[in-house]
Structure 1
Amino acid sequence: MAAGWNSKLIVETWSHGGPIATSVGLAVAASHTSGRHVCIVPDEQSRSGYIQAMRELAGISPMNVVVGDGGELVAAISGVDFLVVDSKFDDFASVLRRARLSDGGAVLACKNACNRRCTGFRWNWVLHRGTRVARSVFLPVGKGLDIAHVDANGGDSIAKKGPGRWIRHIDRRSGEEHIFRV
């Protein structure tokens, strides 16, 4: 999916013991789009585990593995086109909120979304005011995958009033034609 959107900067959060398949896919997508793949891990143990798993399973030697708080590190990276976070961690909302997204729009994905699906999660609650979610979808893949496409133009999430649409209705009894602008 990241390659299909021609993502130039792909960022993910990962922790020791987590599945590596998504990371392999993102690394391959970054190589196909000539982009960068940055992985944010919480500690040095996760960093070494991530590098070892990527080498063993995919034969890929990851270049950009950063250790630290996900929210702080993602705030330092600007122009994110594709962001993947694991929603089973407490700081996933902070990572989403503090991400500096690309001007051309971005795709945000939350793994393990079934855990928070019950709580009534809404994308607009974790994104900056003025960031418009163009569309979102929940996929029952694994433990749930929630994906949102953030609009390039920004703007408010509430639809703007613009020129309306004309609707033509013909009354079947009288034959009169009624035209409404909605």
Structure 2
Amino acid sequence: MKLVWSPEKASKAYLDTVKSCKISKESGVAELLSAMAAGWNAKFIVESWSHGGLIATSVGLAVAARNTGGRHVCIVPDEESRLEYIKAMHDMGESPSPEVLVGEAEAVMGKLVGLDFLVVDCRRWDFFRVLRFAKLSSRGAVLACKNACQRNVSWFRWNVVLERGTRVVRSVFLPVGKGLDIAYIGSNSGVASSRKSNPSRWIKHIDQQSGEEHMFRG
């Protein structure tokens, strides 16, 4: 089974998000991602969020999850971010808030098997690790990097950061907000085979402030 587009759900989620986020400074991003998640009838929506992030996209994804009857999970790096996220969602009228998981990318993403819509914030230094360890649905998935113009890496390529064997059907960069980089993953390519048959790779990260170079095993 593959992801199937529903224009009716997309339209409803878009309008609901516009209504919910009418005073948001993140105009365009939240509405677009909400419509995409609902339009693709996403059943398992995951996002990454960290301290100081705008909340409109999260509201839009919550709206999409209600429209599809899906599960919505937010992963955050620390307890401070968790408390801030829950408060921000509550202030926007989203109560109860989505599930919130705290921890490093590898540990947290390993618990989330079969996701079909993933949004990562490129302001989070380890955003590429969130993508790398994502366990995607066998029916396909949509992956989105918001704030893509603020990525702290110059080497970003979908086929580099994703699990080996993941089939990227198409990708597109949209000049919405501070940049949206979106990839559509084909069906039956989500959860990759055992890591024993897919040796890990090293990924280089350069701290833009200190200039220090760090190597991570992907």
TM-score by length of 2: 0.67
The share of aligned pairs that are identical, in percent, is 64
> What is the letter of the counterpart of residue 50 of structure 2?
S
**Offset from partner CA, 1:24-65 (integer Å, 9 cap, x none):** 000010111001000011111111111111111134321411
Q: In the alignment, what sits opposite 2:110?
A: 75
1:133 to 147, 168, 179: 168
Measure the CA separation in 2 of the matches of 1:116 and 1:49.
23
Measure the CA separation in 2 of the matches of 1:38 and 1:74.
11
Q: Which secondary structure state, in structure 1, belongs to the residue aligned with residue 92 of structure 2?
A: helix
Q: In the alignment, what sits opposite 1:14?
A: 49
Measure the CA separation in 2 of the matches of 1:48 and 1:117.
25
Q: Which has the larger radius of gyration?
A: 1
Q: In the alignment, what sits opposite 1:160?
A: none
Q: Which secondary structure state, in structure 2, belongs to the residue aligned with residue 76 of structure 1?
A: coil
Matches within 5 A, 1:112-131: 112-116=147-151, 119-131=154-166
Measure the CA separation in 1 of the matches of 2:75 and 2:166.
23
Structure-2 change in CA distance of 1:59 and 1:129 (3 Å): closer
Q: Which secondary structure state, in structure 2, belongs to the residue aligned with residue 58 of structure 1?
A: coil
2:59–2:94 Cα contact (<8 Å) kept = no
Q: Structure 1: where are the runs of 5+ without partners?
A: 156-182
Q: Structure 2: where are the runs of 5+ without partners?
A: 1-35, 191-218
> What is the letter of the counterpart of residue 45 of structure 1?
E
Pairwise CA RMSD: 1.7
2:105–2:133 Cα contact (<8 Å) kept = no
1:98 to 129, 133, 147: 133
Determine which structure has the larger helix proportion and give its number: 2
Measure the CA separation in 1 of the matches of 2:164 and 2:60.
31
Write out the 4+ residue segments of structure 1 that deviate beyond 3 Å after TM superposition.
none
Determine which structure has the larger strand proportion and give its number: 1
Q: In the alignment, what sits opposite 1:60?
A: 95
1:148 to 183, 186, 189: 183
2:77 to 42, 46, 54: 42
